[in-house]
Amino acid sequence: MLKEKKMQIVSSLTDDLLRSSIIISTNYHGLLAKQMAELRNTLSEAGIEYHVVKNTLVYRAADRAGKPQVMNIIEGPVALAFGYDDEVRAAKLLNQYIKSASSSLQIRGGLLGDRVLTPEEVMSLATLPPREVLVSKLIGQLQAPVGILHNVLSSPVHGLVNVLQNKAQTTKE
């Protein structure tokens, strides 16, 4: 490979490493070209980039980007999925592809921020509910103590009202 071409690839990888919120390393060995194109198209539609990369070029890009943790998920023939917005979407799409296509694609690991993820942790990310569901559950959990406090504080007032109403009824009779 020409030196200029390598420098261009390293520069592009450095940019991808800096912009991505999650990086998932996969072993693509055994995938047919048709399957690889299908996977790339599926990921591309979701805004996820998927590149087969040379390990030495990734090492250089990781060094430039200040992300040495990437080297922990690179081993053997590697393709990297770069997720930019939603950290969970990349893991979900890769997991769906592996299950639906019964492919030989294997997840090797991931990098979420500065944290290295095992393949099991990446797969557990794929099983998380959508963000909207998690946010609504959190809001419900935050509102529950306020509702309980309201009931506890208003209970004596309701009791007093009931006593006064009963007293008023008995005086009328």
User: Tell me, what's the pLDDT at 173?
Assistant: 65
Residues with Cβ within 8 Å of residue 23, at least 6 apart in sequence: 17, 70, 73, 80, 81, 82, 83, 110, 111
pLDDT band of residue 82 (cuts 50, 70, 90) is very high
> How many domains, the chain?
2
Residue 173 in tokens: 């009779």
> pLDDT exceeding 70 applies to what percent of the chain?
94
Last residue of a domain, one of 95, 113, 128: 128
Percent of the chain residues topping a pLDDT of 90: 17
Instruction: Write down the pTM of the prediction.
Output: 0.73
Same domain for 110 and 71:
yes
- The parent domain of residue 103 ranges over 3-128
Question: 121 and 147, same structural domain?
Answer: no
| CATH, residue 113 | 3.30.70.1730
Same-domain check for residues 96 and 137: no
Same domain, 67 and 16: yes
Statement: residue 131 has pLDDT above 90 = no
141 and 122 within one domain: no
